[in-house]
A and B are shown apart, each in its own frame.
Chain A
Amino acid sequence: MSNRSKFWRLAALVPEVQCPDQPISPRQKFKYTAIVLFIFVTASQVLLYGIQHQPRTIEPDPLHWLHLILASSRSTLLSHGIVAILVPEVLVKIWVYLKIITLDTSAPETGVLMNRAQRLLGILVAILGAVNFYVRSQHFTVNTVLIMLQILCSDIIVIYLDDVLRKGYGLLSGISLFTATNICVNILWKAFSPMSVMYPEQSPEFEGAVIAWVHLLMTRTDKLSAMSKAFYRQNLPNIINFLATCLFVPLAIFFQGFYIVLPVRTRRNFQAYCHIKLSHFLYGPVVLHRLLLPLPYVASKVLYKKYSGNTLVNLLGKWDGLNHFGQSIPVGGIVYYLRTPPILADLHRDPFHAFIYVAFVLISCVFISMGLMVCASSKGVFNGFVVLNMQEERRLRLAQPDSIHANEIRRHVMRAACVGGFCAGVLIIFADLIGVFCSGTGIMLAVTASYPYVDGRASEVGSFGF
């Protein structure tokens, strides 16, 4: 009790954004959201002062997925992205589920204290991020202090921007807004980037797929060769990737609106209908699948670089960087089979690899979805998944013979969670095979994060869709 009161007193010291005292018009909400987005995008472009800026290399970093989800840009003010608001939210949810924190829902100030506790944890994460930079640089100069202060202030700014949006001044929650914006900016950049990449002994190429296409058509005399290169080049985004992205976005949007109607028999023996929306089960598998998958990748890569002769390390993954434009790509071991086949034609070359990859993605998505469902129901968010259409009860129709009891709703929701996880896995596999920009996971993340605004649930949805 004393420790709790001390913690709450410490949490009470954290300033927070005041709630609006009158309802805000949608115009003002849009204005606030636009300003927050402008601040976020600008901060993701401003480089850290005092850091040694290396020229942009061709090799992509292995934590590309993590940067997408966390909306972070390397060597800029948003080096850590939304870590300072995502980690506290996930930690608090896990602690509530594991009974480390017991929520007293009857107390009116529980929400206030929980919010302040998350702010305090966010500030602690920001401090840890700044200290982490000092540990990595391993020398202490004025530049190091400046960089640590910049990282700390940037993370605190992200925390309070999210607080502004969360208090009702914005359209979406901060996590969804920042992640979706970052992914959309990345997609547009890959399609229309005017940056040119220099290759040794070759002519420079534009990074954007559409601009490269136009440039190749204008400069090359052989139109067929120009079209072939623009459509099928492997080192940079190509037109096939662009068309695949245009195809995949409507598909992901269609999946968002999908729901199952369940006939329910109420306790007074009347007919009611239960809408189970599959979109609620898509966000969690999408995020967690991409958060957990890079872990064996990074471990295998680091181990292979140091102990490439070990049998166990070779069993985990063999890496080769010679024939892949400088990128290190797994060519053997367990990690190879968990990797997406790069082209659709590889399904025929290595069917065993394709089968293992498909099975792994589907099974892991289903299990993640069911796990998140268990966490959600323990928190009391169960009602958010199931929309009981009680208006039907006004007509006082008698229950149909095939209606299920209200007690069985949970079992059907778990079944819907399996279906949702399966659909998420199918979408991830399909998107990765046709080679969309920023991976199918990123696009589904952006669509899932933005859909609550279209659906009218903008202020209710936190991260992970519930």
Chain B
Amino acid sequence: VDYSSSRLPVFHPNRHGSLLLPVPVLRRRRRRGRPPSTAGGSGGFSGGGGSNMLRFYTDEAPGLRLSPTMVLVMSLCFIGFVTALHVFGKLYRSRTAASASA
């Protein structure tokens, strides 16, 4: 059973020839080859391979993902910030001009 389940991650990279998949598999194999963590490595190999496989095909890709609302809110906040800079800059200049004239 373990052999058949561990066989799946090895097959898919050869079939599809993807660029990212060989890297985790190779890493798992290297960990598996180490004597101190043989049992943990094999357990991590099957579990990690499965989760990586699921991530690559169901989720788009690992990494931070933004919602469109977040993008729009960030953009509006930035424009508001620059506009506020303009307003406070004018106030600051008018105050310095007033103090200089006085």
Contact = CB atoms under 8 A, between A and B. Distances in A.
Interface residues of B, number: 29
A17 B66 contact: yes
Interface residues of A, number: 40
A108 B57 contact: yes
B82 A150 contact: yes
Contacts of A43: 75, 79
Contact of B71 (A46, A109, A154, A163): A163
A29 to B, nearest CB: 11
Contacts of A104: 16-19
A298 B23 CA distance: 49
B19 A17 contact: no
Nearest to B83: A46
Contacts of B75: 39, 43, 157, 160-161
A322 interface: no
Interface string B46-77: 00000000001100111111111001101110
A108 B13 CA distance: 11
A106 B17 contact: yes
Given A17-B67, A42-B79, A113 B19 contact: yes
B85 A49 contact: yes
Interface in A1-58: 4-5, 8, 12-19, 32, 35-36, 39, 42-43, 46-49
B89 interface: yes
Contacts of B16: 104, 106-108
Contacts of B78: 153-154, 157
Interface string A188-224: 0000000000000000000000000000000000000
B18 A18 contact: no
B61 A116 contact: yes
Interface string A141-176: 000000000100110010011011001010000000
A32 B67 CA distance: 12
B102 interface: no
B17 A12 contact: no
Interface in B1-51: 16-20, 23
A164 B68 contact: yes
B20 A36 contact: no
Contact of B66 (A15, A49, A116): A15
A16 B65 contact: yes
Contact of B19 (A4, A35, A77, A153): A4
Contacts of A312: none
A112 interface: yes
Contacts of B57: 108
Contacts of B62: 12
Most buried by B among A39, A106, A163: A39
A263 to B, nearest CB: 40
A32 B73 CA distance: 12
A169 B16 CA distance: 30
A164 B17 contact: no
Given A12-B62, A17-B66, A47 B72 contact: no
B95 interface: no
Contacts of A107: 16-19
A26 B79 CA distance: 27
Contacts of A154: 78
Nearest to A113: B19
Nearest to A19: B60
B74 A157 contact: yes
Contacts of A13: 63
A150 B19 CA distance: 36
Contacts of A157: 74-75, 78
A12 B71 contact: no
A8 B18 contact: no
30 contacts: A8-B19, A8-B20, A12-B62, A14-B63, A15-B63, A15-B65, A15-B66, A16-B65, A17-B71, A18-B66, A19-B60, A32-B72, A35-B72, A39-B75, A39-B79, A46-B83, A47-B86, A104-B16, A104-B18, A104-B19, A107-B18, A108-B18, A108-B57, A109-B19, A157-B75, A157-B78, A160-B66, A160-B75, A161-B71, A161-B75
Interface of A: 4-5, 8, 12-19, 32, 35-36, 39, 42-43, 46-49, 77, 104, 106-109, 112-113, 116, 150, 153-154, 157, 160-161, 163-164, 167, 169
Interface of B: 16-20, 23, 56-57, 60-68, 71-72, 74-76, 78-79, 82-83, 85-86, 89
